[in-house]
Amino acid sequence: MSAPAVTTIPADRSANLFRWNAALAGVHFVQAAVILAISFARSPVVTSPVVATYLRFDESTRHLVTAQRSIWDLPIGPAVALFFLLSAVAHFTMAFPARRWYEAHLGRGQNPIRWIEYAFSSSVMIVVIAALAGVQEMGTLIAIFGANAAMIMFGWSMEIANEGRDRPQWLHYVFGCIAGAVPWLVIFATILVSAAEPGSAPIPAFVIAIFVTLFICFNVFAINMVLQYRKVGRWRDYLYGERSYMLFSLIAKSLLAWQVFFGTLRP
């Protein structure tokens, strides 16, 4: 099989998954609460501007000119708390109300709840990273969110398409990688342009650290999927890959959150 088939989750492994999900629900929720409390304890709340760029008619020149206006200030701390909260809800759901449904899908080599959660939480994460790097245009931020969410949905379709296959079908994976590369290219280009601008303020070191560490973390998820479908070592067991996803998710979210804390939210 392309992905290790587990038709029935043994009782001991089911209990182990329950403990993982219950514990991670608590860890994510606690971090969400702490970040939210820190955010509102700081005055003023740290925000990033979101602007809209559009064309308007200039009466004096009788030409269309580029205009820009502020739409919203993105609160960084609450955005960080949001992706923790989304993970907490997902793990709680897998541990309690949807446990049987979740384990039945694991037995088919799939976890729809994971992909739904990632589509929202990791897309919020990439928007936060983009905002910290200086991306402020509303349309660009929406596109970054959408491209990242599309990448995650390709991960879901990869699992569905490969159920019962002897050889993996990799197109879903390749298309997901293409979609997922776009937000990082936009952020990287923004950092380069900012660094090359004469007289501009230097890019904060913590922003560069976030870009590098989270880029690595996001790619670890892709590597985890390759190891699963290539059946490398312990990844022959789909449930091992499932626990790896859980651990990588916690590490990635925690790294971003606490780098943001030390860079911008620290009192």
DSSP 203-258: PPHHHHHHHHHHHHHHHHHHHHHHHHHHT-GGGGSHHHHHHHHHHHHHHHHHHHHH
Annotate 52-71 with DSSP letters as a single string: EEEEEEETTTTEEEEEEEEE
Instruction: Calculate mean pLDDT across residues 208-237.
Output: 96
pLDDT (tens digit, 9 = 90+) per residue, 153-185?
999 999 999 998 889 999 999 999 999 999 999
Confidence of residue 200 (pLDDT cuts 50, 70, 90): confident
Q: What per-residue confidence (pLDDT) applies to 6?
A: 52
Least confident of 41-55, 71-85, 151-165, 212-226: 41-55
- Mean pLDDT, the chain, as a whole number? 94
**pLDDT for res 166:** 85
Cis peptide before 44 (omega within 30 of 0): yes
Strands 63-75 and 47-58: what pairing?
antiparallel
Q: Which of 5-9, 88-92, 135-139 has the lowest mean pLDDT?
A: 5-9
What confidence tens digit (pLDDT) does each residue in 59-100 have?
888 899 999 999 999 999 999 999 999 999 999 999 999 999
Q: At residue 241, does pLDDT exceed 90?
A: yes
